[in-house]
Amino acid sequence: MTEHELPDLPYDYDALEPAISEQVVTWHHDTHHQGYVNGLNSAEEELAQNREEGDFESTPAAMENVTHNGCGHYLHTLFWENMSPEGGGEPSGDLADRIEADFGSYEAWKGEFEAAAGAAGGWALLVYDPVAKRLRNLKVDRHDLHALWGAHPILACDVWEHSYYYDYGPDRGSFIEGFFDVINWDKVSEEYQKCLDHFE
C-alpha cells in the first residue's frame, strides 16, 4: 500500500508575503495539509485491515475519510504548486486562448472564479472537463462536495478560513485578490497541457 507523504513547498515559507504570511503558510502546510495526509494514510490502512479480516462495519466511514482527506491532500498539493513569489499577471499562450474561448474573456473568467471563491465553503477550482472538452470554474464545498466527475483541476484556491483569517480576518475578498498576485500561470499552463495531451 502506498504511504502518502507531505510534499515540500516549492518555495520558502515567507516567499508569498505579503499576499500570504509566513505564519499562515507554516500552519497551513505543516499542520493542516499534514493532517489530510495522515487522515488519508489512516483511512487506507483501515480499509486494508477490514478487507483482511472480513469485517466491513467501519468501511463506509473509512471510504468517506479517503475521499475527504484524499481530496484535501491532492488539492493542497496543487494549491502550493499554483503559487509562486514570481507569480501574478495573466495567463498567456494556449491557456489564455482557451480561457477566452470558453469564458468569453479573461475578465469574465476571473469574475466567475472570484464569485466561486467568495461563496465556496472549501475551494474555487478551474478544471478541465474531458467530457465537454472545455474549462470550467467550480465552487467546491469541503474538499469534494459539488465536484465534477472526471474533471481535472488545473488551478486551486483554498478558501477555508485557515487559509486567510489570520492575515485578513473576515475579509475573504482581499485574500482572493492577494491570491491572484501570486498565481503561477506557468504551472497552471503546464497542468492544462497535461490534460490536452491525455484527452484531446
Type and span of the H or E element at 106: helix 106-119
pLDDT tens digits for range 4-61:
999 999 999 999 999 999 999 999 999 999 999 999 999 999 999 999 999 999 999 9
Residue from 176, 133, 172, 132 nearest 155 by CA: 176
Residue 115 in this model has a pLDDT that exceeds 80:
yes
Distances (CA, A) of 149 to 5, 99, 128, 132, 190: 25, 21, 11, 12, 21
Question: Sheet harboring 122-129: ordered strands across?
Answer: 134-141, 122-129, 152-158
Helix H or strand E segment including 17: none
Average pLDDT over residues 62-83: 97
Please give the backbone phi and psi of residue 10, each rounded to the nearest 5 degrees, phi first.
Answer: -80, 10
Does the model's pTM come out above 0.85? yes
Residues 6+ apart with CB under 8 A from 106: 90, 91, 96, 99, 100
pLDDT tens digits for range 79-96: 999 999 999 999 999 999
Half-sphere exposure of 47 (CA within 13 A, CB side): 16
C-alpha cell at 69: 482527506
